[in-house]
């Protein structure tokens, strides 16, 4: 198969693209990829000084000229990136720094100190940034998380045969021997994480009316369910075996009664600044809120149905922004 080609771009220079690429290459190599890195659009570089042997060879008609050492080589030729890519067909991945006009998938670098908004050119697949306020509708990756960027590239452009990946078809909660484990997140940077989950419980019309009137024997059903959801969010690390105990910074619970369907829709939004996401916390909050409603109403209605518990939205982390409506 031909190599995957990706362009690392930015709206302007001095965004640290070279540094990002420098840190990314060892991560990709560790995962078993053969990677070539090229500079795009080198009009302002003088790599082949007039009068030098390689320059003289090229002027004499050599399609490629260059020099070698016992360990390395440098080739100079005509034809730009296209010609260079043709020479690299045995690579797994070619990353080209620059060239915003490329038709290849692009990863854009956005720096807060340069006060620029993303270009979001055609075929941009992710943003690498130190900003926490971006919500472009595509994955947003931390500028210091080289491992996360490597995982993103492998997860989106390669298959599960690539070693060492956590996103390319491999379940990260199992080790190389197939035994369960808690994923080590110590190498991740702390970013703002947020998740919103929803679910619903359907009941008999009379039960619905009594819940809304606050006349159930056990008291204020939705008030107790709200407290239960918050408690469940904080206890998720104890309830889900491989979930991390987290210092949650905020929980919001909402109920939407739908009278004509005798159901109550439940929403839970969870936030924190940390090294791992809060999807499980939001989903657990919804689940326990629904179970609490069931418990408080089961004496009069055992036919209630809890259903459609799902993640609606998440922000932050390696995979960036997710919306069920956009997936």
Q: Catalytic residue positions?
A: 295
Q: What's the per-residue H, E or C state across 166-184?
A: CCCCCCCCECCCCCECCCC
Q: Which of 313, 321, 317 is nearest to 282 (CA)?
A: 313
Q: Per residue in 303-322, is it b (16+ CB within 10 Å) or e — as a string? A: ebebeebebbbbbbbbbbbb
Buried/exposed 195-226: b ≥16 CB within 10 Å, e otherwise: bbbbbbbbbeeebbebbeeeebeeeebbebbb
CB 246 within 8 A of CB 274: yes
Is 39 in a helix, a strand, or coil?
A: strand
Q: Token pair of 180, please?
A: 């369960």
Residues with Cβ within 8 Å of residue 159, at least 6 apart in sequence: 168, 169
């Amino acid at each position: 198969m031909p190599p995957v080609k990706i362009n690392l771009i930015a709206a302007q220079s001095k965004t640290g693209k070279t540094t990002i690429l420098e840190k990314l290459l060892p991560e990709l190599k560790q995962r078993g990829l053969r990677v070539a890195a090229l500079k795009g659009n080198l009009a302002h570089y003088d790599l082949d000084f007039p009068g030098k042997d390689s320059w003289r060879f090229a002027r004499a008609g050599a399609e490629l000229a260059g020099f070698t050492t016992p360990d390395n080589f440098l080739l100079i030729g005509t034809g730009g990136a296209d010609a260079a890519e043709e020479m690299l067909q045995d690579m797994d991945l070619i990353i080209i720094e620059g060239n915003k006009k490329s038709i290849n998938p692009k990863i854009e670098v956005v720096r807060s100190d340069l006060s620029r908004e993303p270009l979001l050119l055609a075929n941009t697949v992710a943003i690498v940034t130190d900003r926490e306020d971006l919500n472009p509708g595509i994955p947003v990756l931390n500028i210091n998380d080289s491992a996360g960027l490597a995982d993103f590239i492998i997860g989106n452009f390669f298959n599960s045969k690539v070693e060492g990946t956590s996103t390319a078809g491999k379940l990260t909660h199992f080790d190389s021997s197939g035994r369960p484990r808690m994923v080590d997140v110590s190498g991740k940077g702390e970013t703002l994480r947020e998740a919103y989950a929803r679910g619903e419980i359907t009941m008999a019309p009379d039960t619905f009316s009594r819940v809304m009137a606050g006349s159930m024997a056990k008291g204020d059903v939705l008030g107790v369910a709200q407290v239960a959801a918050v408690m469940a969010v904080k206890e998720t690390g104890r309830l889900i075996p491989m979930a991390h105990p987290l210092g949650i910074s905020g929980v919001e619970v909402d109920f939407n009664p739908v009278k004509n369907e005798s159901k109550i829709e439940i929403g839970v939004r969870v936030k924190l600044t940390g090294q791992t996401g809060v999807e499980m916390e939001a989903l657990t909050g919804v689940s326990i809120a629904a179970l609490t409603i069931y418990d408080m109403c089961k004496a009069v209605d055992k036919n209630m149905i809890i259903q459609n518990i799902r993640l609606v939205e998440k922000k932050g982390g390696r995979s960036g922004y997710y919306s069920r409506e956009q997936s």
